[in-house]
Amino acid sequence: MTDKKERLKENAITPNIEPPDGSKAIRPEPSGLFANNPVDLGILSELEGISILEAGQFSFEQVVELCKLAAILEKIEIWPYHPLDGKIAVTAFFEASTRTRTSFESAILRLDGKVISIADGRTTGQAKGESLADIGEMFNAYADVVIMRHTETEAPEQMLENLRIPLINAGNGTGEHPTQALADWFALLKWRPSLIDSEPVQAKLNLGILGTPGSMRAVKSFLLMALLFRSHIRKVTVISEMADPFGPDVTEQLRQADIDYEVSNDVREHLPDLDVIYMNSIAFLGDSYRSMDSRFKLNSDSPIKESAVILHPLARLDELDTSLDKTRHNLYFSQAHGAVFVRQALLMSVLGRLHTLPDTFDT
């Protein structure tokens, strides 16, 4: 039997770590991603020194290797290796965040790096009218990487006018949220490790998206990263209130990827067929956040396939009922918790600190 077949046999059913609250929520065991399958650090070193702006900039191999490294980081104690010793990150958040800023900061601190934390952009010179280009020029002297969230879609472009250190886009208006997509696919790859193979060996997935990619950056980045995994996907069904939920750039990328997709506004018709349900209801419309697609609500009585998993970038409103939290459909807490490790893997790659990893791991 080849190594690949042995690995697939081992990974056909991913063991679940028992959640501490005794619920059935899924917390897949990470070792399925790296057992008998070492991380290719050469592929990850391609990311050294580059800015991370959109989901589509990653190759399939880069996403897979980032997730494999993240799975190792989830299993080991990394702090004794001090991977980011001497490195400083600015987390510049010009828009509210619970998860992204704190998980990035947790990732950096656990890697022994240091953080300059801007939790509210109004404490910067932007409140006095200073441009992001000028703020970027200052950051060159203060840090080794900038992690920025902003309400304006054009904000990364403006910051990059003068920034000469890498920028990680942590969400820009209606634009993208590429590290959220990494967290999403890290959760899915742990749940189904055979997704890391270039050709499918398990049944292809029906992917359902309850939301509007054109107005929801996390949904957009998830969908665009899904295109890398298209050989594993039978069909993408987008359930949205909008007749055209994509916008022209996403439509073009879907067309080029030659992926089978459908748009519908009937959630009950499609729900029983979906293997993976990605949902969100917070959209950026005009100049503020609004609840959208909120008539598509799920709870533990919804007609969801028994084996289906739900992803949600959170924050949630009432579209995702808490009655689902303790069910085996809940992959969304694993998705949020795993974000720390995939962000660690990304930071080590972008900051050129992969060489600090030990040759062998005691997992």
Pick from 302, 313, 329, 353 the residue near ligand CP by CB under 6 A: 313
Restricting to residues 142-171, name those near ligand CP by CB under 6 A: 171
Q: Does 180 bind ligand CP (CB under 6 A)?
A: yes
Pick from 314, 327, 356, 361 the residue near ligand CP by CB under 6 A: 314
Pick from 56, 124, 315, 356 the residue near ligand CP by CB under 6 A: 315
d(CA 207, CA 259): 11
d(CA 344, CA 106): 9
d(CA 26, CA 47): 31
d(CA 226, CA 222): 6
**Least distance from ligand CP to the Cβ atom of residue 100, Å:** 3
- Smaller CB separation from ligand CP, 54 or 112: 54
- Smaller CB separation from ligand CP, 305 or 337: 337
Give percent helix, percent strand, percent coil of the chain, each to the nearest 5.
Answer: 40, 15, 40
Residue 64 half-sphere exposure toward CB, CA atoms < 13 A = 21
Pick from 7, 27, 99, 190 the residue near ligand CP by CB under 6 A: 99
- Rg for the chain, CA atoms, rounded: 20
3-state secondary structure of 340: helix
Restricting to residues 193-212, name those near ligand CP by CB under 6 A: none
What is the x/- site pattern for ligand CP, positions 218-247, by CB under 6 A?
Answer: x-----------------------------
- Smaller CB separation from ligand CP, 196 or 324: 324
- Which window, 60-68, 97-105, 207-215, 265-273, contacts ligand CP (CB under 6 A)? 97-105
**Least distance from ligand CP to the Cβ atom of residue 98, Å:** 3
Q: Does 119 bind ligand CP (CB under 6 A)?
A: no
- Which window, 4-12, 120-128, 204-212, 312-320, contacts ligand CP (CB under 6 A)? 312-320
- Smaller CB separation from ligand CP, 177 or 192: 177
- Which window, 11-19, 123-131, 308-316, 346-354, contacts ligand CP (CB under 6 A)? 308-316
Pick from 23, 97, 126, 153 the residue near ligand CP by CB under 6 A: 97
Strand order, beta sheet including 205-210: 261-264, 233-239, 205-210, 276-279, 309-311
| E strands present in the chain | 88-93, 114-118, 145-150, 167-172, 205-210, 233-239, 261-264, 276-279, 282-285, 288-291, 309-311
Residue 186 Cα distances to 32, 147, 154, angstroms: 12, 20, 27
What is the x/- site pattern for ligand CP, positions 20-59, by CB under 6 A?
Answer: ----------------------------------------
108's enclosing H/E stretch is helix 99-110
Q: Are 71 and 14 in contact (CB under 8 A)?
A: no
- Give the residue from 267, 310, 312, 318 showing the smallest Cα distance to 291: 318
Size of the site for ligand CP (CB under 6 A): 11
**Least distance from ligand CP to the Cβ atom of residue 214, Å:** 18
- Smaller CB separation from ligand CP, 257 or 315: 315
**Least distance from ligand CP to the Cβ atom of residue 103, Å:** 8
d(CA 168, CA 146): 6
Task: State both tokens at 98.
Answer: 């619970």
Q: Does 100 bind ligand CP (CB under 6 A)?
A: yes
- Smaller CB separation from ligand CP, 7 or 312: 312
Please give the residue ranges that form the binding site for ligand CP (CB under 6 A). 97-100, 171, 177, 180, 218, 313-315
